[in-house]
Amino acid sequence: MASLPGLLYRVSTPAGAGLEPHVRVEGMSVRAGLRATGTDGPHEVRIVLNRDVRWGIRLPAGAGEQQLDLARGRVTRVDLGASGLIELRLPEPVGTVPVTLAGGVGTLSVTMPAGAPLRIGLDQGAGSATTPWTVAESLPAGTYLGPAIWPAARHRYALRAIDGIGFLTVRRSTTQSGKPRA
């Protein structure tokens, strides 16, 4: 997320990439897709969103690696598909913000604002978890993790992993997002 005066987003791939972005606007939705270029270049895309817009992020197709630094923005929800690695930096929540992982994840690393409560629901369990509340191995299906304050918190995150997670890590950010709740 960045300051993008006059723009909602910017989508790019590196020079010589094996993919090229195509974007279409449908009503209030911006949809970005990728087309093969026929070259053997890198298969990566960089999406920069205007931090002054509150975004609902949906990346259902999954990827080998997903690095989402949303800490300086505003989100209404985050929905991600299967991935080998997800690194997710979240901003201050407004209300209850759902984060849904629809497919299996090898390694999930979540960085939260210092005071934002996060509840994690593991529908299919996890191999291990290191969070501010627990360090555990072999978490069974149906496990919920989170701080005692979560039910009473007005602004919070609710993460649901529908499929299994190999390694789960939750960290607290040592810096503020710089954005007030709105």
pLDDT in tens, 15-63: 888 888 888 888 888 888 888 888 888 888 888 999 999 999 998 877 7
28: which residues sit within 8 A by CB, 6+ positions away?
none
The sign of the CA dihedral 29, 161, 107, 37 is negative
Q: Strand 54-59 and strand 74-80: pairing? A: parallel
Query: In this structure, which amino acid lies at residue 113?
Result: P
Torsion angle, alpha carbons of 113, 119, 120, 121, to 10 = -160
Tell me the C-alpha to C-alpha distance, in Å, between residue 65 and each of 32, 113, 182. Answer: 17, 22, 31
Phi and psi for 151 in degrees, rounded to 5? -60, -30
Q: How far apart are the first and last CA of the chain?
A: 17
User: Can you give the pLDDT at residue 177?
Assistant: 47
| Helix/strand/coil percent split, the chain, to 5 | 0, 55, 45
Residue 15: how many CA atoms within 13 Å on its side-chain side?
0
The sign of the CA dihedral 164, 30, 32, 26 is positive
pLDDT in tens, 136-181: 999 999 999 999 999 999 999 999 999 999 999 999 987 654 444 4
Distance CA 80, CA 155 (A): 21
User: Can you give the pLDDT at residue 175?
Assistant: 64
pTM of the model: 0.87
Torsion angle, alpha carbons of 100, 102, 107, 110, to 10 = -10
pLDDT in tens, 102-144: 999 999 999 999 989 999 999 999 999 999 988 999 999 999 9
Average pLDDT over residues 73-97: 96
